[in-house]
Structure formats: C-alpha cells, structure tokens
Structure 1
Amino acid sequence: MTAASLGDAARPFTAAALADLVPAGTRLLALGEPTHGAEEFLDLRNELFRHLVTAHGYRSIAVESDCLAARTVDAYLDGADGELDTVLREGFGHGFGAYAGNRELVRWAREFNASAGADERIRFYGADGPLEYTGAAAPGPALLRLHDFLTTRLPGQPLPAREELLYLHGPDDRWTEPAAALDPARSIGRTEDAVRLRLLADELNLLLAAHRPQFQHEQDALWQAELDARTATGLLRYHAATAGDGPDRLNSLMRQRGLMIADNVEAILHREARRGPTLLFAHNRHLQRTAARIPLGEQLLQWWSAGSLLESRLGDGYAFLATAFGHRAPDDHPAPDTLEGLLATLPFPRSVLDPRQLDAFIGESGGVKARVPADHTYFGLDPAELGRLDGVVFVREIARQQGLFGGGDA
C-alpha cells in the first residue's frame, strides 16, 4: 500500500468531515478515545460537539463520568451559581474535571445556554456509575433520596421504613473500603444487611415503576428519582460482585459497569428523544460494538461492552467513531507494520478516515497488525474490527499524559 492510495481513504480532520460519516437516523453517536487524559482527544470532541449542536440539532452530551456528580455540571450549564473550578472538581468523576478540554466544554455550553430557549439548552450527563478506581460509592444517598421521593407522593403505600434503610446501610465507609477492590473479604456486598437492603431497594424500584404515570407531570423530579433508582440498585449489584471470590470476579465487575453505562445512556436517549440525538464520549473499549477484552497478567478479562449492549438495543440508531494516535511523547512509536504505523504516514496532523475504504485497502495489501501497547494506559485499533466502525480519527502525535494515564513515572 502506498501513502497515495491510503490517502484516498483519508481527509484532514474537520468536525464536518467527521460528521459526514455518521449514518442518517443515528440517535446515539459514540465517540471513543484510545486513552484517558490526552487533551488532543478532548479538543476534537469539543470541536465535533460544537458542530453537532450548531449544524445537526444535538442538544445533549454524555461522558464517561459519575452520573450523580454530573448533575452539578448540568445545573451550572443551566445558569446555577457556582465557581467553575468547584463545578469541575465536584461534577466529574475520576479527576477528569482537571483537564482543560473538559473546562472548555463546560464553559462553552454554559455560554451557549445563556442565549438559548428552554427547549434548546444543552444538557450534560454522566454515563458511568459512581465508580472510582479504588471502588464504588455507597448506595445509601441515592436510595434514601428515592425513598423520600416516594414517601411524599405515595402516602398510602406501605414503604420500607427509612430507619430500617439507615440501619441496614450503616456508615458510608462500610461500602467505600478501598481494600475491598482487591480483597473480596473486605467487601460488605454480600452480608445479610446488604442482601436485605438490596431486596428493599427492589421494592422501591417496583413502586416507582408501577406508579410512573402518576409522576409524569413533574419530569425533572421523576428523572432524578429514576436516576437514583438505577444508581442505587446498580451499586448494590456492583458491591455484591465485589464480594465475590470466584474466578469470574473481575469479569463480573466489568459486566456490572457496562450494564450501568448502557442503562444510563438508554434512559438519557429516552429523555432526549424529542430534542435530538446525543453524543456519548468514553473510552473506545466501552463503546466498541464487539465484546471487550483486556489482558490482566495471565488472565484475559472479557465482557460485553456498553457499546455492544447499546447497539443490541438501538440497532441502526447506534453509531461509533473510534480514535487512535501515532507517536506519544517522549518515545512511544507504533511499529511500521501496525495500523497506527501505517496511518502515521499520512500528511495530516489529524485525519478522518472512512473505515470501509481503509479496510478495503488493507485487505489488498495485507500484513497490517494490531499495535502492541507500550504500557497499560491504552489499546490500539484492531485492523480486524474496521468493518464495525462508522469512522476513524487518527491523531499523529499526542503529548505525554499526566498522572494515572501517563504511564511510567508520570
């Protein structure tokens, strides 16, 4: 394959060029990133989202971040008072509020909303559960809010006593013990109290679902109640999986997270249906249409990704744009015979590629391999999966990330 023939599949990146690859009828446009913490991918996400809002009627974005914390960001976009630094710190999970690209997204969306009508304002969502790298949040706050919502609206219904919920739950730190991430014996998730709490949470969920028509006139309060219901039950399932000690424990945790993301996003699409499509931004591994696989020591983690779950629910309404990079400072270079090594020969700093044309070119030449990552912080594009993509963005060079995603001693 020559650079010229490869060039037939590529264009320099513009948001419009990337949007041209999105199929008609897309309800959820998923944009992946190959690694967290690289500002280059946040920048191109912002460029794409601005174009989608101004040219294609998008009015919502969901990101790989805490679904409950994101309410703080959304309120700020709607004009709530607050310092931007505080909103970013409290409104993003995983420390993602520290990134300049996320600051710019929030700043621009608030500015857009200041002159937009009520039905035209941008909404911001977190797609992920309240999960951090050291473990999951306690389910109590969401469960108690759900209980309070139902208590004030269903006075004649025999609800579980709030005092019993408080007793069974106990202090939050029973649930957020960091050691439980690696030691299932330190998790509270399968104790008698947790099992009983999970049963009561199911009763509250049932009441909310059964009486939903009664609450239709108060859409914002209903949205919060259903978010709390999903989150509380999802966290109880996650903590139960954390307490498991079988060989499938880590796969189970990944499955639980994938389901929480898919359920949150499906609810977002239902809420946003009359306002337009939604942009979803997360790691490529979460959004891919195929099962996710991550090597961990001698074990291979495998689970159905949130993207595969969402495609199974949305069909042609789901579109996925993947991203990749070439050189990462200071010395991470793709081998020439890998897909990223091939794309690095393109003349553009950022390229938009039609994956079907790219797949056809690779099929003619052969010999293109998947990139072996230099460390644990990213995963390369698999040439065999190009047919399952709607578009590819290749960034020729990214700066070394800071902190957890920087690799080495960053």
Structure 2
Amino acid sequence: MAPSTTRRLAAALLVWLAVVPGTAAASPAGGGPDTPDGPLTTADHVLPALERAARPLRTAEPTGPAVDLGPFGRAVGDAVLVGIGEAAHGSHDFVTFRHRALRYLVERKGFRSFVLEANWSAGARLDHYLLTGRGDPARIMSEEFQNAYLLLHSQEYLDMIRWMRAYNVAHPDDPLRFAGNDNGYAGPELYDRVVDHVRRAHPDLLPAVTELYRGLRPTVPVGAWIRAATTAPLGERRARAERTGRALALLRARAAAGTDDDHAWAVQHATAIDQVARMYAFDLADPGSVPAAMAYRDTVMADNTLWWHRRTGHRLVLGGHNSHLYTSTSTPTLPLTQGQVLRQRLGDGYLAVALSFGFGAVHATEQGLQNPVDEDVRRYTVEPPAPGSVEHTLDQVSHPNWYLDLRTAPPAARAWLDIPRPKREIGTDFPPPGDQVALLRSADLVVHLREIGPSRRLDRDPGTPADPLPALQEAARPLLTVEPTGPYDDLDPLGTTVADARLVGIGQAVHGGHDFLAFQHRTFGYLLERKGFRSFVLEAPWSTGLRLDDHLLTGRGDPARIMSEELQDAYLLTHTRDVLDLVR
C-alpha cells in the first residue's frame, strides 16, 4: 500500500472521520441514474411519499417557538438517549439544530445532559463550569479543542454552553450536565483528580499510582501532546498503556472509601486515562490495525456515554458525526459504530437522528492532513448533490428544512431508503470519501436542511476577554411591558425561576422611576395570580404599612391621605401615583 494511503488510514483514528466513512458499502446497491430505483422511481413513487410524511422545520436556529418540534418530541417518545448527528463537522446549521433540539428536549421532555464527541477531560472542565460558574468557557474551549478537535472551537458550541449555564443559574437544584465521550486526549486534571482521590481514600496506594503515572500527565498544550503521541515509537506507546492499565486495576480492586460517588468518579477518570493510552497503543502505521482501532474507539465512546447515563440517571442528548451515531455499518474500516453498541445495549432506548443537506459551505482542512492547526482550516463550497444520491432526492421535498420519522414513513419511502446510496459524510477534511448509506437501517429519524453555512470560528487567543453579549442575548427573556396589565405569559420564565421561593425581592435602580414601580406592581400581580403570593412589603415606615394594611383589610381610610401623611422626608419619592395604583 502506498505510504500516503497508510498515513491517511492512520489519520482516520485521530481526525474525526476524515477518511473512514460511516456506513459505506463496497459497491452501490442502487440509486444510479439508469437503475429502476433511480430518478424515475423517485419522481413517480418516492418523492410523493416523502412529501406526505415530511414535517416542516421552522428553523435550525435555537430561538423562537418550538411548535414545529412537536412531532419530533413524539418520535423521541420514552428514549433515554437521543443521538443527533451531523453530515459535516464544520457546519453552523447542524450544531445550531442540535442546540435547538437540546433546548426542546430539556424544556419539554426532561433531558438533563449533553454528551459530545470530545475528550472526557474537556467535558469534565465544561461540566464544572456549568455547575459552578467558575472558569471561562471560551478559554476552556480554546485550550481543549485543538488538533483533531479544532472544529469544535466555534461560536455555535460556545453559545450552547452559555445557554446551558444560564439554565443552571435559573434552575440551581436541577442543573444540566456536560460530558465528553472520546479518547483522543486525557488532560492533567484527570490525573490530578485520580491522585487526589487516592491520597484521601487509599493513601497506601499513593506511591504506586504516582510512580505509574510519572511522566504521563500532559505538560504541553493539547495539540502538541496529540502530535507527540501519534509520532512516539510503538513500544513506548504500549508501555504507557501497560502503566495506565495497572493504575486502573489497583483502583478498581479497592472497595470504595468515603462516598461511593467519589470512588466511582475516580475510577471513571482513571478509565478515561487508560482508554487514551490504549488508543495510541494500536499500530497506527499498519492499515490492518485500523478496523480494530476504530471499533475500540466507538466502543469507548458508547461505554463512556452509558456510564454517564447510569451515573447521573439523566436522559441525554448525544452529539457527534453521523458515522458514529448510525446503528448500522458495512464499512470494513469501521466494523462497529457507537450507535450499534448503544442500540445493542439500550434497544429502543437509543434514538439515532441523521442529518443531511443539499448544498452550502463548511469549514474543513485539506484532505488527509494530520495534526491540523487553525491555519489549516478553510471554507469549502459544497455543490448541490448529484443525481442518484440520497440528498438529491431528499432535497426535492418542497420544505426547505424538514424531518422525517423513518420508522413510520410510507412503504415506498422506506423501500427506497433501505438501499445503500451515495451520501456525503464530511469529517474534518475535504473533499469527503465516497460513502454509501442505507438510511433506513442506519437511523430512526432524518433531518434535511436545504442549505448550510460554515461554522463561526473563534479567536484562539486565550487572553481575549469573553464577550458577554451573546450569552446575555441567549439568556434574556423578552418583557411584553413593564406596565401592570395582562396578559402575564411573558413572566412565566420568572415564575419558573421563583419556583418554591417564599419571598421575592424586586429592586429599583432609582427611587423616582415610574417604570421600576410599575414593574414591581406587574410582577406582584403575576405572583399573586399564578404563584399564590399574598403580601407586599415596601421600603417604607412600619406605621405606614400598618395603616395601609388596615385599609386593605377593612376599606377604612383613604390610601391617598395615608400616603400623603406618612410618605414624607426621606420617603417622599414613594408618594407616587404608581404606589397608590398598586395599593388600590
């Protein structure tokens, strides 16, 4: 085999599906322009069936009403894990659709975790930010999403993470969580967490674990570490895996000390360290090792995802490339997908959602490039799909953006989708290899977007202050008015935040502002009608409150006179029509 081919096969282990296709077949089983199941069948039978069953998608952006996602929610049903794919890593629209679906599933279906095709250590850092607010997500992403993961370093993912944090601020007792399930890199924080646990719970193991991990804890940036790991001698890589395996075995052999939770997390962090070492212990220069290495990688991603599901008890959204999430594969170099493992272990509890598109542009690197850096990323135009391809037919449905439950599609559509046909699956590099996908066997739902755009790349400079405006825009909830009138539906998010609170303080930036007092009045009206509040306490003398309370209970006295007599001197700015309206 030519050296360049060997290098590309090795790169497939590290550059997300840059080479290895998702569900390719050795030869097309149909769909060519002159075959009976080609365009004639599409025009006469398949397209009308697709047209009837397709559900229009209002937008791929994560904003606005979600009524159009109602059928999507019904298709999800009782699934505990929903894998939402992408037909290109460097696309804006696939990530924003996943963000939109995540919001819907969180708010309407009780999902509470998001798992991404990223390293376990990256997920651990972002999860800590979501739970505590400590750290800068832009900086974490800049430091973690490098080399094979550089296309994750985008505004779209940052927006999603900031929305998740805003949700947690509003729901501190029911937070969203974030995990990475991949095994390309294990950051220093994982080593630190394992060693700290051993020091506290199993101090007799500390010398052995410290020695086994000596020299393995990364001390250079992610990109440089991955580059060094891929070029280190095979014997050295296998020796690392032997050491991480021994450390893991020592920890697993010990019963939990302290809380079971502490021990379980420490074992999982040690497992992630070992998974990375074992990935690089494959002979990356031997094309014959690629199928086993890819099967190992996808099994690891499934194992980590399932561990997270079991540990948290959460229903979760899984984000990754279509090729990893498909439930079927006929690719020799990808003999087992994450989706297959999840389907085997969860059955219908796993739902696979494939993404497709007509044309547009993506960010990617040059074909076959190993160890990419930011300067290697280019904008590539993707032309409309060729006749005979899956997308060529899907793109003829009249809706610009739509989705379809393949399990309940009309027979004509199911028969056509059950045949492997060309489908673009763009990984990190471009152009993509020629893939063949039988969608009916590979996914439960398909989402088709007519046009996609490239992701919005972020500045890598970690010293650049994070711009708070996008996060504020994502978290802000519009007010219909500050005036004390109905309807109150725009205040429902405030009611959700109030939850079971017994006392709500509503401030003023200035004492003499009409709008602040009017908003206090409106909010009190909402809380009275929707949340059962029954008292209002004002920054005023106690005697004023006693007299006004007597008026409210008995009707005796004139509130205007009471306010005139009571609200003087330091309280004169409270002697306003706005407060009188509230009292009345």
Give the unaligned 5+ runs of structure 2: 1-41, 58-67, 362-380, 458-584
* Compared CA separation, residues 280 and 372, structure 1 to 2 (3 A): closer
Question: Over the residues paired in the alignment, what is the CA RMSD in angstroms?
Answer: 3.2
1:204 lines up with 2:262 in the alignment? no
Alpha-carbon distance in structure 2 between the residues aligned to 1:117 and 1:335: 50
1:190 and 1:387 mapped to 2: Cα distance? 37
Aligned to 2:311: 271
Q: Is the 8 Å Cα contact of residues 146 and 204 (structure 1) preserved in structure 2?
A: no
| Counterpart contact for 1:238–1:256, Cα < 8 Å | yes
1: CA distance, partners of 2:441 / 2:210? 54
Is contact 2:88–2:425 with CA below 8 Å preserved after alignment? no
Partner of 1:406: none
Per-residue deviation, 1:111: 1.1
- In the alignment, what sits opposite 1:105? 160
- Residues 337 and 368, structure 1, Cα contact 8 Å, conserved in 2: no
SS of 2:171 mapped into structure 1: coil
How far, CA to CA, are the matches of 2:408 and 2:202 in structure 1?
58
- Write out aligned runs for 1:241-260 (5 A): 241=282, 243=283, 246-260=286-300
Q: Distance in 2 between matches of 1:350 and 1:380?
A: 24
Structure 1 residue 382: Cα displacement: 5.0
Aligned to 1:125: 179
Q: Which has the larger radius of gyration?
A: 2
Cα separation, 1, equivalents of 2:237 and 2:70: 47
The answer on whether the counterparts of 1:355 and 1:387 sit within 8 Å (CA) in structure 2 is no
Report if the CA contact (8 A) 1:292-1:305 is conserved. no
Structure-2 change in CA distance of 1:381 and 1:265 (3 Å): same
Which deviations, in whole Å up to 9, do the C-alpha atoms of 1:373-399 show, x marking residues without a partner? Answer: 497455788553414422110011112
Q: Which moved more, 1:353-362 or 1:9-18?
A: 353-362
Following superposition, the deviation at residue 29 of structure 1 comes to 1.0
For the residues of structure 1 that align with 2:416 and 2:144, how far apart are their CA atoms?
Answer: 47
Once residues 202 and 417 of structure 2 are traced to their aligned partners in structure 1, the CA distance between those partners, rounded to angstroms, is 65
Quick one: which of 262, 277, 292 aligns to 1:236?
277
Which amino acid counterpart does residue 404 of structure 2 have in structure 1?
Answer: L
Local SS of the residue matching 1:303: coil
Distance 1:101 1:365, change over 3 A: closer
Aligned-partner Cα distance in 2 for 1:272–1:377: 39
Alpha-carbon distance in 1 for matches of 2:329, 2:175: 35
Which runs of structure 2 are paired with 1:355-394 in the superposition (5 Å)? 355-358=406-409, 360-362=411-413, 370-371=421-422, 373=424, 376=430, 382=436, 384-394=438-448
Give me the TM-score of the superposition, normalised by structure 2: 0.58
How far apart are 1:6 and its partner, in Å? 2.3
- Give the conservation status (yes or no) of the 8 Å contact 1:145–1:228: yes
State whether residues 128 and 260 of structure 1, in contact with CA within 8 Å, keep that contact through their aligned partners in structure 2: yes
Partner of 2:211: 164
CA distance, structure 2, for counterparts of residue 83 and residue 163 of structure 1:
30
CA distance in 2, matches of 1:186, 1:304: 24
Contact 2:116 2:181 in 1 (8 A): yes
| Unpaired segments ≥5 residues, structure 1 | 294-299, 404-410
Amino acid at match of 1:283: H
- Gap change, CA 1:163 and 1:357, over 3 Å in 2: closer
CA–CA distance in structure 2, aligned partners of residues 15 and 381 of structure 1: 29
Alpha-carbon distance in structure 1 between the residues aligned to 2:252 and 2:51: 55
Distance in 1 (CA, whole Å) between partners of 2:407 and 2:344 is 21
What are the within-5 Å matches in structure 2 for residues 72-83 of structure 1?
Answer: 72-83=125-136
Please list, as runs of the form range in 1=range in 2, the aligned pairs for 1:25-64 lying within 5 A after superposition. Answer: 25-64=78-117
* Helix, strand or coil at the partner of 1:73: helix
Match for 1:281 among 298, 310, 319?
319
- Superimposed CA distance per residue, residues 1-49 of structure 1 (whole angstroms, 9 cap, x where no aligned partner): 4444321120102333322222x33111111111101010111111111
Structure with more strand by fraction: 1
Contact 2:351–2:444 (CA under 8 A) maintained in structure 1: yes
The answer as to whether partners of 2:53 and 2:409 remain within 8 angstroms in 1 is yes
Shift of 1:345: 0.9
The structure 2 residue matched to 1:151, chosen from 188, 199, 212, is 199
Report the 3-state secondary structure (helix = DSSP H, G, I; strand = E; otherwise coil) of the residue aligned with 2:236: coil
What CA deviation, in whole Å up to 9, does each residue of 1:145-189 have, x standing for no partner? Answer: 42331232124x45552552254648767x9462663x6746621
TM-score by length of 1: 0.80
Task: Kindly provide the amino acid, as one letter, of the partner of residue 141 in structure 2.
Answer: L
Give the conservation status (yes or no) of the 8 Å contact 1:288–1:305.
yes
For 1:178, give the aligned amino acid. Answer: R
Aligned pair count reads 376
Give the corresponding residue for 2:75.
21
Give 1:84 deviation, angstroms.
4.1
Give the partner amino acid of 2:387: P
2:379 equivalent to 1:322: no
Cα distance in 2, alignment partners of residues 372 and 78 from structure 1: 39
What residue number does 2:389 align with? 338
The alpha-carbon deviation at position 97 of structure 1 amounts to 4.7
